[in-house]
Amino acid sequence: MKPEDLDRFERRCPRLGGPVSFRYCLRAENQGKPCHKTIDCWWEHFDVVTFLKEHLSEKAFKALTERRPMNKVSSLVDLIAQARNRMGGK
C-alpha cells in the first residue's frame, strides 16, 4: 500500500457513525495510535494485518492486538477530552 492509499480507502466507522479514511483509523482516532477496531474494520478491504506488521513496531502491534476496548462511558469521556484539546482546551 502506498502512502496516498491511506486517504483513498474510506469506510463507515462503527464507533463514530460516519465515513473515515484508513489514515484516520491509524493515527487520529486514538491519540496517534491505531484504533483498537482497525483490524476488524479493514480486513475485508485489504491485508490489514500484514500492513500493520510492516508499519508498526512489534511492541505496538502486540499492544494493538491485545488491547481491550474502553467501555462506552470511558470512550465518550475520552472523545470529549480529545475534542476539547483540539479546540484549545476550552
pTM: 0.66
Sequence ranges of the domains in the chain = 5-86
- Number of Cβ within a 10 Å radius of residue 22: 23
Give me the phi and psi of 66, to 5 degrees please: -100, -5
pLDDT at site 52: 93
CA angle 22, 59, 61 (to 5 degrees): 30
Q: What gap in Å lies between CA 18 and CA 56, rounded to an integer? A: 26
pLDDT tier for residue 87 given thresholds of 50, 70 and 90: confident
Q: Which three cell numbers stand for residue 85?
A: 484539546
pLDDT at site 31: 73
Residues 33-55: tens digit of each pLDDT: 888 889 999 999 889 999 999 99
β-bridge mates for residue 33, sequence order: 30
- The answer to whether the CB of 39 falls within 8 A of the CB of 49 is yes
Which run of H or E residues covers position 40? Answer: helix 38-42
